[in-house]
Amino acid sequence: MGNGIRSPISFLILLALLFPLTLQISAVNYPINVWPKPTTFSWPKPQIALLSPKFEIHFPSHPYLHRAAKRYRQLLIQEQYHPLVAPPLNLPESPALQSLIITVTDKSAQLTHGVDESYTLVIPSPSQSTEAAISAQTTWGAMRGLETLSQLVYGKPSRVACDLYIYDEPLFPHRGVMLDTSRNFYWVADLLRLIKAMSMNKLNVLHWHITDSQSFPLVLPSEPELAEKGAYGEVMKYSPEDVKKVVEFGMEYGVRIVPEIDMPGHTASWAEAHPDIVACTNMFWWPAGADLSSRIAHEPATGQLNPLASNTYKVVQNIIKDVATMFPDSFFHGGADEVTTNCWKSDKSIQAFLAKNGTLSQLLEMFITSTLPYVISQNRTVVYWEDVLLDANVSVAASLLPQENVILQTWNNGPNNTKKLAQAGYRVIVSSAEFYYLDCGHGGWVGNDSRYNQPPGTDLGKGGSWCGPFKTWQTIYNYDITYGLNEDEAKLVIGGEVALWSEQADPTVMDPRIWPRASAMAETLWSGNRDETGMKRYAEATDRLNEWRNRMVTRGIGAEPIQPLWCIRNPGMCNTVQPYVPN
């Protein structure tokens, strides 16, 4: 594998001129597919060629592209994927594809929000040329192109689709997975496997919900006590070296790591080290005889930072400084969801504050105005959950949340809250619980729940999961994250994230809970969920997703099956042709 730069640009331009002017043909059923489906995939006469066992990749010098090219070269030669449905294509006598030439226009472009991820991939007919070409604006776009090429290679000996042209770019710049590592712990190896799978699906953001009330696994040099006392155990911690490994791995795979330190709610675990700064710790989350609205926390494990404790800000600033140092990404997620009024009200100092006509919203404003400028001073854009602006009881005035520095992540009320946030002028990341929460539909997990001890025949409705039912891949695939928005509002939607909250998840189920459902979102946010006639393409996507899921499994990702194997072998026969009629 050399490192030289050759210039197949004239050939590329020629091809580009010829192909995109022909009809849009992305709805055509191809014998080999790429997930997510590329924006433009032109393969008028599907044929394949052998891939040379000495296949070479030529690429411009760049440390991360170097590693990606090495990795993909090995995958291209060694994967020898055995498709569930063998493409009905015969190997011609033509020579094998010998090499790939990658050209990058701007090698210095950083992996950051909005970076250009477009690429063009041309694989000529080997009778014309034995050299494929990827051209991209950035190294990150080139990585997307390498992934595409890898999915066009299969079989033993390795075959590759040829005589084709792909131009590809994402619809949305922010395409992520959120993982909660506080309710239950995940090993670094799990996070690396997640990043690897995300990269396969052209997802580019791992939103790492590191800490919460249940545990504080992140070791911070300025606040080592937080993890020492708040982690689940000596081995269940992320050291600065671990974080570095994860961040660096992300760079190699073109995946940003956005850290979240959720506060001021969801901080009970901080109290192990700093009991003085946390209100309502170690209380029973929903006392007997109290209304649901009088809960001390939304779920077991109570505790919220006390905005009136001066030590709070000392600890928080130490954390922000350390986290900003450990995580180079320009986004910092500050949490700020689910402030529980009764938690704060249980605190004596806060009671005194309220007695002097203070409000809980003022308290939250005090916390936000004391921490947000500091985060911004570290050159970070801050992401908060929507609650900070939209919560009915405790919220912050929009004037304190500058639109140029703050992005809001929506999770309630489907498209309604997306619209509210966009109308208020904020950029929005969509994680609607009705569509994008991967933990839903698994029943309740609190103990002593008499719901599950009812007489036979009792209707349990959605089964006790607050966001039930389970979100199928089709539910996720079909959601339009800009639903009901006008054009200006839609532009503020920077993308979406599926989310895995870990009350009922840990490394044993991480892969099947996330995959292939995150793949469904990955395609929708990359090239959309409609064909060129504007029809939703979920029916057509089913067989493609079956095949892609199988390929992920062979690549070591324990993605769950979506259908019996029989279905992809009998195209269309597992469909329903009866439209659903809601009650």
Partner 1 sequence: MGAAIGIPLTFLLILAFFITLSPQISAVSYPINVWPKPTAFSWPQPQITLLSPNFKIHFPLNPYLHQAANRYRKQFIEEHYNPLVVPHLNLTSSPPLKSLTITVTDDSAPLTHGVNESYTLTIPSPEQSTTATLTAETVWGAMRGLETLSQLIFGNPSRVACDLYIHDEPLFHHRGVMLDTSRNFYGVSDLQRLIRALSMNKLNVFHWHITDSQSFPLVLPSEPELAGKGAYGEEMKYSPEDVKRVVEFGMRYGVRVVPEIDMPAHTGSWALAYPDIVTCANMMWWPAGVDWTDHLAAEPGTGQLNPLSPNAYKVAKNVIHDVVSMFPDSYYHGGADEIAPNCWITDPEIQAFVAKNGTLSRLLEIFVDSTLRYIISLNRTVVYWEDVLLDASVNVSPSLLPPENVIFQTWNNGPSNTKKLTEAGYRVIVSSADYYYLDCGHGGWVGNDTRYDQPPGTDIGDGGSWCAPFKTWQTIYNYDITYGLNESAANLVLGGEVALWSEQADSTVLDSRIWPRASAMAEALWSGNRDATGRKRYAEATDRLNEWRNRMVTRGIAAEPIQPLWCIRNPGMCNTVHPFLAS
Residues 186-215 that bind partner 1 (CB under 8 A): 213-215
Residues 503-522 that bind partner 1 (CB under 8 A): 503-506, 508-509, 511-512
Q: How far is the CB of 494 from partner 1 (least distance, A)?
A: 19
CB contact at 8 A, 122 and 132: yes
Q: Residues 451, 466, 486, 532: which binds partner 1 (CB under 8 A)?
A: 451
DSSP 70-119: HHHHHHHHH-----SS-------SSPPEEEEEEEES-TT--S-TT----E
DSSP 158-175: TEEEESEEEEE--S-SEE
Cis ω before 264 (30° cut-off from 0): yes
* Cα–Cα dist 35/200, whole Å: 8
223 vs 543 by CB, closer to partner 1: 543
- Identify which range of 124-132, 242-250, 492-500, 560-568 contacts partner 1 by CB under 8 A: 560-568
Residues 398-417 that bind partner 1 (CB under 8 A): 414-415
56 vs 480 by CB, closer to partner 1: 480
Write the interaction track for partner 1 spanning residues 532-551; mark x where CB under 8 A is met and - where it is not: ----x-xx--xx--------
| Length, in residues, of the chain | 583
Q: Residues 26, 80, 346, 478: which binds partner 1 (CB under 8 A)?
A: 478
Count the alpha carbons within 13 Å of 251 in the hemisphere toward its beta carbon.
Answer: 16
Conformational region of residue 435, where left means phi above 0, alpha means psi within -120 to 50, and beta covers everything else: alpha
Establish if 83 lies at the interface with partner 1 (CB under 8 A).
no
Establish if 293 lies at the interface with partner 1 (CB under 8 A).
no
DSSP state of 38: P
* Cα–Cα dist 573/78, whole Å: 34
103 vs 269 by CB, closer to partner 1: 269
Establish if 486 lies at the interface with partner 1 (CB under 8 A).
no
117 vs 543 by CB, closer to partner 1: 543
Which single residue is written with the structure tokens 């070296």? 241
Q: How far is the CB of 266 from partner 1 (least distance, A)?
A: 12
Q: How far is the CB of 302 from partner 1 (least distance, A)?
A: 9
CB contact at 8 A, 37 and 531: no
Catalytic annotation present for 338: yes
* Cα–Cα dist 195/23, whole Å: 36
- Identify which range of 67-75, 143-151, 280-288, 337-345 contacts partner 1 by CB under 8 A: 280-288
Establish if 288 lies at the interface with partner 1 (CB under 8 A).
yes
CA distances from 465 to 294, 441, 460, 488, 504 (A): 20, 5, 10, 35, 11
Establish if 479 lies at the interface with partner 1 (CB under 8 A).
yes
Residues 145-184 that bind partner 1 (CB under 8 A): 183-184
56, 225, 228, 338: the catalytic one is 338
- Identify which range of 23-31, 166-174, 239-247, 446-454 contacts partner 1 by CB under 8 A: 446-454
Q: Which residues are identified as catalytic? A: 338
